[in-house]
C-alpha cells in the first residue's frame, strides 16, 4: 500500500488535498499534514474544504492556507489526495462537481467500511487518519517537523478523544509520545480543542443537559430550532455535547437530536458499552464508527426522536418493548 502511495506521489506534481464536510481535528490535521509532507517533497498543493476551518482548529499550522471549493477553478490538478473520507460522497457535492471525469485519487482513510474509491488506497483500520499519515511520513523517511507533528498529534487527540477511546493502542501512545518530542505543545492543542466554549455554547449546553432524559441505559436530548435561536447558536456549536451526555454513569448509548430545519434532524449517536451504533445510523442513511456515528433524518424533531430511539432500544434489548 505505502509503496503505491509513494509511487503516485513521485509521479505527480500538482495535488489537491480534500477531506469531508464539517471537518474536525483528524480531517484538518490529516489535510494539513499531507500539505506539509507534499511541500517537503517539493510538490504543489492546494488544500480545499467545503466548510470553513472551525475556530478551534485555526491554530493548526497551515490553517490559513485552507481554501473554499471555488479556489479550484482554473487549477490544473494531477492528483486528488482525499483524507479521512469513509466514502467519496463525504467530500460534499460542491467539490464532487469540480472533479474531472476520471480523477486520479489517493484515498487515505481509517474507516472500516471505506469502499476503496481511490486509484491508490491507503485504507486500514486505525485510530485516526493522522496515524496513517504519520506512518506514511515515516515510510517516506521524512523529517518530522514541529508543524507536521502538531497536525498529526491534533488528529490523534481528536479521534481518540485524548487517548480515552477504545481505539487507543500502544502504537497510538508511542506515536503521541514521539510527536511530543518534536516540540508539540500539548496544552495549546488541548485548550484549542476543549477549552474555547463561548457563553452561547454554554447556554446551549445547559439546555441539553437540563432536558436530557434517561431510560434503560439510553440518554438523549434534543435541540429545536427555537433553542438554537434563543441561545444564539447553531449546529456547529453542538460538538462534544453528545459526549457530555455519554459521560453519565450507567449509560450504554447517548443520542443527541439537532433540528436543522423544519423537517431535518441531525442525529449523533455514541456508545459507551457493548452497543454498536453505526448500524442504527446506517438504517437512517448515515454511518460512522461502532462507538460514534450519525445520520441526517427527515421528519419533525419529535417523530425522528421516536423512530431513532425505537431502533436504538430494539438493538439494545432484542425485541424488548421500549
Positions that interact with Mn ion (CB under 5 A): 26, 84, 129, 159
Identify which of residues 149 and 158 has a Cβ nearer to Mn ion in the complex: 158
Joined grid coordinates for residue 217: 441505559
Give whichever of 77 and 152 is closer to Mn ion, judged by the CB atom: 152
Check if the beta carbon of residue 98 is closer than 8 Å to that of residue 69: yes
Q: Minimum distance between the CB of residue 128 and Mn ion, rounded to whole angstroms?
A: 5
Cα separations in angstroms, 221 against 7, 100, 153, 269: 49, 42, 32, 11
Nearest residue (beta carbon) to Mn ion: 26
Asked if residues 265 and 259 have their Cβ atoms less than 8 Å apart, the reply is yes
Please report how close the Cβ of residue 121 comes to Mn ion at its closest, in angstroms. 16
In whole angstroms, what is the distance from residue 312 CA to residue 322 CA? 9
Q: How far is the CB of 291 from Mn ion (least distance, A)?
A: 13
CB of 109 to Mn ion, least distance (A): 8
Which residues partner with 264 through β-bridges? 261, 298
Q: Across the beta sheet with 120-123, what order do the strands follow? A: 66-67, 44-48, 14-18, 79-83, 105-109, 120-123
Q: C-beta of 94: minimal distance to Mn ion in Å?
A: 21
Q: Which is nearer to Mn ion, 124 or 315 (CB)?
A: 124
Instruction: Compare residues 23 and 222 and give the one whose CB is closer to Mn ion.
Output: 23
Minimal distance, residue 122 CB to Mn ion, in Å: 14
CB of 223 closer than 8 Å to CB of 207 = yes
Whichever of 84 and 252 has its CB closer to Mn ion, that residue is 84
Distance CA 271, CA 219 (A): 10
- Residue placing its CB nearer to Mn ion in the complex, 54 or 222: 54
Contacts of 254 (CB under 8 A, 6+ apart): 218, 219, 220, 242, 243, 245, 246, 248, 269, 270, 271, 272
Cell of residue 239, nine digits? 460538538
Alpha carbons 255 and 19: distance in angstroms, whole number: 25
Amino acid at each position: 500500500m505505502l509503496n503505491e502511495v509513494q509511487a503516485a506521489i513521485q509521479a505527480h506534481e500538482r495535488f489537491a488535498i480534500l477531506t469531508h464536510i464539517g471537518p474536525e481535528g483528524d480531517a484538518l490535521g490529516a489535510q494539513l499534514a499531507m500539505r506539509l509532507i507534499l511541500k517537503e517533497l517539493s510538490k504543489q498543493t492546494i488544500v480545499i474544504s467545503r466548510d470553513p476551518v472551525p475556530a478551534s482548529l485555526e491554530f493548526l499550522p497551515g490553517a490559513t492556507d485552507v481554501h473554499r471549493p471555488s479556489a479550484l477553478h482554473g487549477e490544473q490538478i494531477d492528483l486528488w489526495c482525499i483524507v479521512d473520507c469513509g466514502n467519496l460522497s463525504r467530500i460534499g457535492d460542491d467539490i464532487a462537481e469540480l472533479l474531472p471525469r476520471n480523477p486520479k485519487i489517493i484515498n487515505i482513510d481509517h474507516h472500516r467500511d471505506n469502499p476503496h474509491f481511490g486509484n491508490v488506497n491507503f485504507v486500514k483500520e486505525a485510530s485516526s487518519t493522522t496515524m496513517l499519515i504519520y506512518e506514511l511520513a515515516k515510510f517516506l523517511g521524512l523529517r518530522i517537523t514541529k508543524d507536521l507533528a502538531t497536525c498529526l498529534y491534533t488528529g490523534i487527540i481528536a479521534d481518540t478523544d485524548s487517548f480515552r477511546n477504545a481505539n487507543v493502542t500502544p502504537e497510538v501512545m508511542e506515536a503521541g509520545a514521539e510527536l511530543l518530542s518534536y516540540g508539540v505543545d500539548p496544552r495549546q492543542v488541548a485548550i484549542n480543542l476543549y477549552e474555547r466554549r463561548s457563553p452561547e455554547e454554554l447556554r446551549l449546553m445547559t439546555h441539553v443537559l437540563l432536558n436530557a432524559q434517561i431510560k434503560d441505559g439510553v440518554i438523549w436530548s434534543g435541540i429545536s430550532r427555537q433553542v438554537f435561536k434563543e441561545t444564539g447558536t447553531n449546529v456547529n456549536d453542538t460538538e462534544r455535547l453528545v459526549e457530555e451526555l455519554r459521560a453519565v454513569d450507567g449509560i450504554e448509548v447517548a443520542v443527541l437530536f439537532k433540528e436543522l430545519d423544519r423537517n431535518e434532524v441531525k442525529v449523533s449517536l455514541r456508545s459507551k458499552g457493548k452497543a454498536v451504533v453505526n448500524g442504527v445510523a446506517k438504517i437512517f442513511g448515515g454511518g460512522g464508527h461502532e462507538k460514534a456515528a450519525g445520520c441526517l433524518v427527515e421528519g419533525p424533531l419529535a417523530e425522528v426522536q421516536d423512530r431513532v430511539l425505537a431502533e436504538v432500544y430494539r438493538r439494545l434489548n432484542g425485541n424488548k418493548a421500549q
